[in-house]
Amino acid sequence: MTGENRRKAIVKELEEREGLPQSASALAERLGVSRQSVVSDVALLRAGGAEIAATPRGYVLRRDRLANGIIKTLVCAHAAKETKRELYAIVDCGCTVLDVSVEHPLYGEISGALGISSRYDADQFLEKLREEKAPPLSALTGGVHLHRVLCPDEEAFARLCESLSKLRFILCED
């Protein structure tokens, strides 16, 4: 299989999975190539304009996630130990955490794709943090961070803001 055909196959796999994250290892196994080949192919696809997000659970096509609902940005602040409560509050309101970003004094904006839409996803993310012994990005900024969230409608977003306000996690919303 040529590189071009492999990249087409990767896009097709992601389209067929309808937004479910696909790890590089799983894609590599299905395509009969190494994990590194998939990682390189995804980098080339992204350089060519493909909207592929790398989440902690695998690759997803961004356009699949953006089709249904509204995207809002939240500014939050809390201790790292409160991350689970924050993520649960967001998904319990029917919203998806698309990403997290912080403003670093040296590097500027640093962001990471998350794609967390359920408590299971949140638990998987938190387990990965524990396994890797990695602090959340918000540890770089004293707990202050932004989330882009995908909500089904304005009512879900209003519920989310109310929930995060009760927890005293939200600074403002747009």
Q: What is the CATH number of the domain that holds 38?
A: 1.10.10.10
Predicted confidence at residue 169, as pLDDT, reads 94
Same domain, 107 and 29: no
Predicted confidence at residue 80, as pLDDT, reads 92
Q: Report CA-CA distances (Å) from 57 to 1, 50, 123, 134.
A: 26, 19, 11, 15
**Domain-ending residue, one of 15, 46, 64:** 64
Same domain, 112 and 47: no
Predicted confidence at residue 69, as pLDDT, reads 86
Same domain, 55 and 105: no
Name the residue range of residue 47's domain.
3-64
Predicted confidence at residue 19, as pLDDT, reads 67
**Per-residue tens of pLDDT for the chain, all 174 residues:** 888 999 999 999 988 887 678 999 999 999 999 999 999 999 999 888 888 888 878 888 875 444 578 999 999 999 999 999 999 999 999 999 999 999 988 889 999 989 899 999 999 999 999 999 999 999 999 999 999 999 999 999 999 999 999 999 987 544
Same domain, 81 and 156: yes
Predicted confidence at residue 142, as pLDDT, reads 92
Q: Which helix (H) or strand (E) holds 132?
A: helix 119-132
Predicted confidence at residue 52, as pLDDT, reads 86
For 98, residues 6+ apart whose C-beta sits below 8 A from its C-beta are 65, 71, 113, 114, 115, 147, 148, 149, 150
**Contact assessment for residue 132 and residue 36, using Cβ atoms and an 8 Å cutoff:** no
Predicted confidence at residue 2, as pLDDT, reads 87
d(CA 158, CA 122): 21
Torsion sign (Cα): 149, 153, 159, 165: positive
For 158, residues 6+ apart whose C-beta sits below 8 A from its C-beta are none
**Total domains in the fold of the chain:** 2
Predicted confidence at residue 32, as pLDDT, reads 93
3-state secondary structure of 17: coil
Same domain, 30 and 110: no
Buried b / exposed e across 30-57, counting CB within 10 Å, b at 16+?
A: ebebeeebbbbbbeebeeeebebbbbbb
